[in-house]
Structure 1
Amino acid sequence: MSTSPAADNRVPQVLYALYMLGLVSGFITTLIGLLAAYIYRRDAAPFLAEHYRFLIRTFWIGVAYSIAAAVLSFTIIGLAIPAVVLPIWLVIRCIVGWHAVHRNLPPTRPDSWLW
């Protein structure tokens, strides 16, 4: 039985919301979103598979940025990265992805490290 495109779109939309919720609830909702993206990407339509890939890359790029921020934390700029820049980056990336999935389109630049 096939589900409608709107029903298929709900999962990545929820995952984008889980990522953003991770900003206030902690790391656990983002980790749940990552695991769900890995699970759902296998059987997804091509444009949805791109969203799952985008979500997975968002997580791992965020980890890389966080490690860089930890290394830079011995400087003034290192303190601003995790407190200001990373949350803004995550929110923009999730909004861009959510907007694309809402319009039944793949992310515009899934390989980008920005958005």
Structure 2
Amino acid sequence: MNEVSERVREGDTGYVRVIYILYLVAIVAGVTGLIGVIMAYIYRSEASDWLRSHYTWQIRTFWIGLLYSVIGSVTTPILIGWLVLLFTVVWLIVRCVKGMQWLDRREPVPDVGNWLFG
């Protein structure tokens, strides 16, 4: 077993934290969100249960955020899209901050299937 696999299995929170930060940076530089979701898919299978809940939360955050962004972009000509895009940015920030709070307390995400703020 390699060193990375061992650290992920033992509960190393570093990768999870990096992904949350990549998502926040994606508000300005979108490509970092894609890097974050790829990392979440890679490390999720080897993680302990409580960390796996964070990876799943992050993966869902990416895909749901992408859906909200597409809806916002498509509806910008009728002006409601700007509100949808603003909501998406706030939504992303809140999900990342709450995720990092749970991570700092070494708690799993309580409701991974939640579409809003957890």
Q: 1:72 aligns with which of 72, 75, 91?
A: 75
Who is 2:38 aligned against?
Answer: 35
Q: 1:10 aligns with which of 14, 33, 36?
A: 14
Who is 1:52 aligned against?
Answer: 55
Which letter does structure 1 place at the counterpart of 2:110? T
Q: 1:94 aligns with which of 84, 96, 115?
A: 96
Structure 1 residue 30, shift from structure 2 partner: 0.7
Deviates more, 1:61-70 or 1:40-49: 61-70
Who is 2:106 aligned against?
Answer: 104
Q: How many residues in Structure 1 have an aligned counterpart in Structure 2?
A: 111
In structure 1, distance between residues paired with 2:77 and 2:110: 35
**Secondary structure of residue in 2 paired with 1:12:** helix
What percent identity do the matched residue pairs reach? 36
- Unmatched runs of 5 consecutive residues or more in structure 2: none
In structure 2, distance between residues paired with 1:71 and 1:41: 32
In structure 1, distance between residues paired with 2:88 and 2:46: 31
Q: Higher relative contact order by CA 8 Å / sep ≥ 6: 1 or 2? A: 1
Which letter does structure 2 place at the counterpart of 1:59? F
Point out the structure with the larger helix share: 1
Q: CA RMSD in A?
A: 1.4
Structure 1 residue 28, shift from structure 2 partner: 1.1
Tell me the TM-score normalised to structure 2 length. Answer: 0.87
